[in-house]
Amino acid sequence: MKSGKAKGLVGLLITLILVGVFGYLAYTSLDDIKLGLDLAGGVSITYQTTVDNPSDEDMSDTIYKLQQRVQNYSTEAAVYQEGDNRINIDIPDVYDADAVLEELGKPGSLLFMDQDGNVILTGDHVSSAKAGIMDENGTDNYIVSLTFDDEGAKAFADATSANIGNPIYIIYDDEIVSAPTVRTAITGGECYIENIGDYEDANNLASTIRIGSLSLELEVLRYTEVGARLGENAIQTSLLAAAIGFVIIAIFMIAVYRTPGLASVLALALYVELEIILLAAFEVTLTLPGIAGIILSIGMAVDANVIIFTRIKEEIGVGKTVHSAIKTGFSKALSAIVDGNITTLIAAAVLFLRGSGTIKGFAATLAIGIILSMFTALFVTRSILYALFELGLSGEKFYGVKKDREPVNFLARRKVFFALSAALILIGWVAMAAGKFTGRGMFNYGLDFSGGTSTTVEFKEDMSLEQLDSQVIPVIREAAGVTEVQQQKQRESNTVIFQTQSLTAEQGQALSTALADNFGAEVISSSNISGAISAEMKRDAIVAVVIATVLMLLYIWFRFKDIRFAASAVAALVHDVFVVLTFYAVARWSVGSTFIACMLTIVGYSINATIVIFDRIRENLKEKAGRQELIDVVNTSITQTFTRSINTSLTTFIMVFVLFILGVSSIREFALPLMVGIVFGTYSSVCITGALWFVMTKKARAMKAEKAAREKAEKKAEKKSAR
């Protein structure tokens, strides 16, 4: 016994030491986390095309390619159109504009020519250019690998076939930057330039080729270093919300789950510390919605612990010892935790690989959170729990008991649930249609989607971010009759750029007059800007979500050996998305960059809850095969997981609610739809998914029985006729 206590004491001390060490590392890593433009400011560069009237197609293509390029600085960098022939680039957490311009270069013309001066192809046929290293017998061979589009691949194949032994000249702004010799015909659309001096030279050449692959030639019009849009107050209130939410969850977990709850709190503290360290290590750019996402992930990380602790209570309830219940509880919870997290991880991986901008940053944060939550729940919490058990917290009273209770007949009300969901979705479609036909738009699109007007204002004195937020922006809203206003304050300057919804000439004049009367400020310029989320980025997001949904469906089908589980889960995801869209359409919530992150969070949250219920249905089908009606199996499974569904939703809701109460306006725009998503995600998991699976399974069994009866009758008829 003494040996066990000593072992437990050592385990607990190790845990506390790790929490302290990682806490210190997390604290020192805070300064290394890359912050977005809204939190830290950065560089704003404006390019102008060398042609006066570029086509919409060329502008769109150039913006998209620049967006891909500046993600090397940050996934949260924004690229958008200003006027007819200007492109703005905002790069967060970077302060040396000259260094950015030197590295990014001046996008110009790029040509591939043969030795006779014939143009083989232009830079816009280059899909990618990357520096690399080849190992040749222990010697580094620095290379640049190129990939061409279909048209470029064909032209390059013809040219290399006719020029074996001769050089191909790569010319950037009338200057030869490389002249590799053709060794063989290159027909696959990919090639590499080798024997470059060092990696820096290779990287510079690759950068030059990428810069010259734009559809339009650009020149730098202006560049400025801008301050944070929201200031220190936003970070402080968000961190305060995180601290308050963490304390509330800690109290809740200990009160409900006792000793396991204490173990989860220690594991959760380690989870938060590790997440901060990894955010810094992987250089994930953190914006205000990103902070909200991390705070949300703290609530969601509780989920795995709740699943395990509920299982432990159940095992104690059927008469097992505490030690045996802990072991069995972790074992039985494993499949639900792994399946739920892997399903969401699949979505995160696809979104990171196929998405861009905010999508990529969201996916990185989500993936880190998923992996860490699995690690802390399955390993850290287990170790702490055993240590506490060895220290003497071994009685049932320290863990609680959960007795089997009479199943609630959820499926008896399935028609009511289906009707309620259909009505909510129908209301959304009606609201969207009404908005479209009345000219307001299906949704209240924010600046990130619809674009608007950029107004540059010169104040007589330096205005702080807090003054702009509390004094100036309210005046702009009232004078111009707009709801959404974003600001960019130039460093060490009295100049501020305000971005609003599109303004008419009358609104612009009213704005100018109001600023002059109230602050003595002068409007220097005003121009239209496009949405920072381009059509191509929207397409990338949609494609990524579709691919992720298909892969999740296939994984669930593979794991549960039943396509109906997968179909029900996907139907629930679609349901949750449409219900939240209803609130966006009816309440006219702003649809901006946080909208995408919000919807993706809801999808990930909902699928996790659904997997837990399906895992219990699968388990009960095996244990009670043939001894219980199908409807009873589903009702029993939902009832058994109901406490988990409510407790997990409650802890997540608490985190988001505190964030909504304390956060700044942009955080509230993110938190409010999330609260709706949490409520209806829980509703769909409990009331819709199991019922859908039951209806489809019952129908399939009925069809199978009908087919068997028909075949039996046919065989009987055949035997009778044979006589």
The CA–CA distances, whole Å, from 31 to 27, 28, 279, 286, 465 equal: 8, 7, 11, 12, 21
Do 26 and 272 form a contact (C-beta atoms < 8 A)? yes
Using N-to-C axis directions, what is the helix angle for 259-281 and 2-29, rounded to 10°? 30
Q: Does the structure show a pLDDT above 90 at 483? A: no
Please give the share of the chain, as a percent, with pLDDT higher than 90. 18
Comparing 658 with 426, which gets the higher pLDDT?
426
Which pLDDT does position 536 carry in this prediction? 62
Comparing 659 with 435, which gets the higher pLDDT?
435
Mind spelling out the 3-state secondary structure of 686-709?
HHHHHHHHHHHHHHHHHHHHHHHH
Quick one: pLDDT band at residue 424, thresholds 50, 70, 90?
very high
Cα–chain center distance at 55: 32
Q: Does the structure show a pLDDT above 60 at 231? A: no
Render 386-438 in DSSP notation, one character per residue: HHHHHTT--SGGGT------PPP-GGGGHHHHHHHHHHHHHHHHHHHHHHHHT
Alpha-carbon distance of 333 to 276, in angstroms, equals 27
Which pLDDT does position 135 carry in this prediction? 80
Quick one: pLDDT band at residue 710, thresholds 50, 70, 90?
confident
Comparing 38 with 484, which gets the higher pLDDT?
484
Overall average pLDDT of the 600-620 stretch: 83
Comparing 663 with 618, which gets the higher pLDDT?
618
Overall average pLDDT of the 573-592 stretch: 89
Quick one: pLDDT band at residue 174, thresholds 50, 70, 90?
confident
178-187, long-range: CB < 8 A, 24+ apart: 178/144, 178/205, 184/160, 185/157, 185/160, 185/161, 186/156, 186/157, 186/160, 187/153, 187/157, 187/160, 187/161
- Computed over every residue of the chain, the mean pLDDT equals 83
359 exposure class (CB count in 10 Å sphere: 0-12, 13-18, 19+)? buried
Render 543-561 in DSSP notation, one character per residue: HHHHHHHHHHHHHHHHHHT
Overall average pLDDT of the 211-230 stretch: 71
Query: Which residues, 6+ apart, have CB-to-CB distance to 197 below 8 Å?
Result: 142
pLDDT in tens, 288-304: 666 666 766 676 678 88
Quick one: pLDDT band at residue 233, thresholds 50, 70, 90?
low
Alpha-carbon distance of 444 to 436, in angstroms, equals 11
Overall average pLDDT of the 535-564 stretch: 81
- What structural domains and CATH numbers belong to the chain? 2-35+230-398 (1.20.1640.10), 43-100 (3.30.70.3400), 108-213 (3.30.1360.200), 419-428+538-706 (1.20.1640.10), 452-529 (3.30.70.3400)
Which pLDDT does position 610 carry in this prediction? 87
Comparing 651 with 430, which gets the higher pLDDT?
430
Do 186 and 211 form a contact (C-beta atoms < 8 A)? no
Please give the share of the chain, as a percent, with pLDDT higher than 70. 89
Using N-to-C axis directions, what is the helix angle for 593-623 and 288-317, rounded to 10°? 10
Comparing 537 with 470, which gets the higher pLDDT?
470
Render 112-142 in DSSP notation, one character per residue: EE-TTS-EEEEGGGEEEEEEEEEEETTEEEE
Comparing 49 with 95, which gets the higher pLDDT?
49
Quick one: pLDDT band at residue 722, thresholds 50, 70, 90?
low
Q: Does the structure show a pLDDT above 80 at 493? A: no
Query: Which token pair is 546?
Result: 């579709």
Quick one: pLDDT band at residue 431, thresholds 50, 70, 90?
very high
Which pLDDT does position 1 carry in this prediction? 47
Overall average pLDDT of the 628-640 stretch: 90
Do 144 and 196 form a contact (C-beta atoms < 8 A)? yes
Do 610 and 569 form a contact (C-beta atoms < 8 A)? yes
pLDDT in tens, 10-52: 878 888 888 889 888 888 887 787 777 667 777 888 888 888 8
Which pLDDT does position 170 carry in this prediction? 92
Alpha-carbon distance of 706 to 709, in angstroms, equals 5
Q: Does the structure show a pLDDT above 70 at 261? A: yes
pLDDT in tens, 384-405: 999 998 888 888 888 888 777 7
* Structural Rg of the chain based on CA atoms: 30
Alpha-carbon distance of 416 to 421, in angstroms, equals 9
Quick one: pLDDT band at residue 590, thresholds 50, 70, 90?
confident
Comparing 714 with 430, which gets the higher pLDDT?
430
Alpha-carbon distance of 272 to 25, in angstroms, equals 12
Q: What angle do CA 627, 633, 637 make, to 5 degrees?
A: 140
**Residue from 532, 531, 470, 521 nearest 496 by CA:** 521
In 137-189, the DSSP E strands lie at 139-148, 169-172, 175-178
Pairing of strands 485-489, 78-82: unpaired
The CA–CA distances, whole Å, from 586 to 423, 436, 579, 672 equal: 13, 12, 11, 14
Question: Phi and psi for 321 in degrees, rounded to 5?
Answer: -70, 160
Q: Helical H runs in 452-592?
A: 465-467, 473-480, 505-519, 535-560, 563-587
Query: Which token pair is 89?
Result: 């680039």
**What's the start-to-end Cα distance of the chain, in Å?**
81
Q: Does the structure show a pLDDT above 70 at 602? A: yes
